[in-house]
Amino acid sequence: MFENLCTLPLSAELFSQALHPTEPLLGVGLSTGHVQCFRLPAAERLGEDDADVSVLSDGKGTIDTIWRTRRHKGSCRTLAFSNDGSALYSAGTDYLLKHFSPTTGQVASKIAIPSTKAVPDSPSLLHVLSPQTLLLACDSGALHLLDLRDGALAASKPQQTHFPHDDFVSSITPLPPSAESTSGFSKQWISTGGTTLAVTDLRRGVLVRSDDQEDELLCTAFISGMGPKKNRDNGVVAVGTGTGVLTLWDKGAWDDQQDRVVVDPGKGGGESLDCIVQIPGDITRGKKVVVGVGDGSLRIVDLMKREVEGALRHDDIEAVVGLGFDCQGRMISGGGQTVKIWEASSLQGGGIGDDDDSSEADESDDEDDDDSDEGNIMNGNKTKRQASGDSDDDSDSDDEGIKRGKKKKRKGRTNTDLGPHGAHGVLRFKGLD
């Protein structure tokens, strides 16, 4: 699990957040059009100070404002750092896309957001694919590819424009580069919009679009090291939906989802899953993600065991709209008018990696026969029982396992050493003859 280190109040509702790839810098875009950049303290300093760190100051272990400005006349809809962190990009409802320094906030270049219709098109998402390409998604469903090779937004006309979805693009996640790639940057990405998922190639355009999922797809994360039994290294994509269900898609099988995890159960559908991030491997050895939910909570989901492992609270009312891990391994959640900083808990029994071994055992148990299941139950495998006890969703599977164990036990009674009158007589006890 995670523990909350501090809470950072904002002056207006958060619309977007972005984290620097190599420095503890946090950029936020607000509903008032303001963009603000904070410097987070070093991880060890933040834990040392027992004072109230929710107040901005220059003291030890506090969060400092580097700069703050009203970047857009409307709201700031989206923010994105460049791959090396040397530039920050923002787009707002004033139909402008701006490029500026993350350390000073000074604008280097700006362009008008391209529009495919007679009316202006509001931005929905920015993603820096590589040092040469910036992806700009709009409410109309258009996805523009902008050239960054000159280090600035010089050309207002995009290199290419694709329409992977009929509705606004809600998420963009790059796929890992191929083994033949010389640049090391991805040339394909997954996007969601409306009720479909699509894969787009930098050169060939939209490659495939999924079937209609009859549920709004809102966020995506690529998880390596998972996949079908015969191809575990294939990778899967976790997709959050509008009804509280996390769907899993095998890479390359984009027609339809392969599995699902109910994160927020509810009659007629649960709360929306608005954002998702994978927990880094140096924090947990399993394949786990944190999902931001529309009710203001955070859910930790173990993808190997297909269950919700725990829950945290970001806000009592407002949805979580931003999630990420900074360069020092701290989780940053944003929603409403607050940003919270979380650190992996080191308490025994509450650590996020305590049941990693049992999760690996669960995966292998699924492939074993009933005899191996009996062995785990009859030999008192408490590790598995304790790990599954963290989630209410596992109660059915536990009961089934106990029933199987009892069934095996009853079968074993046929070998009992009976007395001379059979099953209706006195049992024969060794050493008492």
| 336-356 pLDDT per residue, tens | 999 999 998 764 333 444 444
pLDDT for 208 beyond 80: yes
Q: Which residue has the higher pLDDT, 398 or 3?
A: 3
* Segment 76-83 mean pLDDT: 94
* Segment 296-307 mean pLDDT: 94
* Segment 348-366 mean pLDDT: 42
Residue 284's pLDDT is 84
Residue 368's pLDDT is 43
- Gap between the Cα atoms of 321 and 332, Å rounded: 11
pLDDT for 413 beyond 80: no
Whose CA is closest to 308, among 389, 189, 230, 191? 389
Q: Confirm if 49 and 111 have CB atoms less than 8 A apart.
A: no
CA torsion 63→294→261→79, rounded to 10°?
-50
**Token pair for 147:** 């050239």
Whose CA is closest to 36, among 55, 13, 61? 13
* Segment 27-35 mean pLDDT: 96
For residue 430, name the pLDDT band (cuts at 50, 70, 90): low
Distances in whole angstroms, Cα of residue 197 to Cα of each of 191, 237, 240: 6, 11, 11
Of how many residues is the chain composed? 433
User: Rounded to 5 degrees, what angle do the CA atoms 110, 116, 118 make?
Assistant: 95
Largest Cα span, the chain: 101
Phi and psi of 227, rounded to 5°?
Answer: 160, -170
* Segment 194-203 mean pLDDT: 93
| Kind of pairing between the strands at 96-100 and 107-112 | antiparallel
Distances in whole angstroms, Cα of residue 96 to Cα of each of 1, 74, 92, 183, 355: 40, 10, 6, 30, 48
| Kind of pairing between the strands at 236-241 and 169-174 | unpaired
Whose CA is closest to 167, among 107, 209, 226? 209
pLDDT for 198 beyond 90: yes
User: Rounded to 5 degrees, what angle do the CA atoms 251, 249, 298 make?
Assistant: 125
Q: Confirm if 143 and 200 have CB atoms less than 8 A apart.
A: yes
Q: Confirm if 148 and 142 have CB atoms less than 8 A apart.
A: no
Residue 44's pLDDT is 61
What's the pLDDT tens digit per position in 131-177? 889 999 999 999 999 988 766 676 668 889 999 999 999 999 999 88
What is the percentage of the chain residues whose pLDDT exceeds 70?
74
| Kind of pairing between the strands at 307-313 and 76-81 | unpaired
User: What's CA 258's distance to the chain center, in Å?
Assistant: 18
- Gap between the Cα atoms of 299 and 316, Å rounded: 14
Residue 26's pLDDT is 96
Determine which of 13-22, 112-121, 270-279 has the lowest per-residue pLDDT on average.
112-121
Determine which of 96-110, 113-127, 264-278, 399-413 has the lowest per-residue pLDDT on average.
399-413
Q: Confirm if 34 and 11 have CB atoms less than 8 A apart.
A: yes
Determine which of 220-234, 293-307, 388-402 has the lowest per-residue pLDDT on average.
388-402
Q: Confirm if 312 and 296 have CB atoms less than 8 A apart.
A: no
- Gap between the Cα atoms of 19 and 29, Å rounded: 12
- Gap between the Cα atoms of 87 and 129, Å rounded: 13
Q: Which residue has the higher pLDDT, 101 or 422?
A: 101
* Segment 44-61 mean pLDDT: 47
* Segment 82-106 mean pLDDT: 93
Long-range CB contacts for residues 141-144, cutoff 8 Å, separation at least 24:
141/165, 141/166, 141/167, 141/168, 141/169, 141/193, 142/114, 142/116, 143/169, 143/191, 143/200, 144/114
Residue 347's pLDDT is 45
Q: Confirm if 330 and 31 have CB atoms less than 8 A apart.
A: no
Q: Which residue has the higher pLDDT, 377 or 424?
A: 424
For residue 400, name the pLDDT band (cuts at 50, 70, 90): very low
CB neighbourhood size of 266 (10 A): 11
For residue 183, name the pLDDT band (cuts at 50, 70, 90): confident
What's the pLDDT tens digit per position in 265-282? 877 788 999 999 999 988
- Gap between the Cα atoms of 37 and 22, Å rounded: 15
**Token pair for 361:** 């055992």
pLDDT for 289 beyond 70: yes
**DSSP-derived 3-state class of residue 317:** coil
Q: Which residue has the higher pLDDT, 119 or 294?
A: 294
pLDDT for 114 beyond 70: yes
CA torsion 144→249→131→89, rounded to 10°?
60
Residue 178's pLDDT is 78
Q: Confirm if 193 and 168 have CB atoms less than 8 A apart.
A: yes
Which sign, positive or negative, has the C-alpha torsion 151, 172, 138, 320? Answer: negative
**Token pair for 11:** 């002056």
Q: Is 194 left (phi over 0), alpha (psi -120 to 50) or beta?
A: left
Q: Confirm if 170 and 193 have CB atoms less than 8 A apart.
A: yes
pTM of the model: 0.75
- What does DSSP assign to residue 393? G
- Gap between the Cα atoms of 19 and 386, Å rounded: 36
Determine which of 107-116, 150-159, 342-351, 370-379 has the lowest per-residue pLDDT on average.
370-379
Phi and psi of 362, rounded to 5°?
Answer: -65, -40
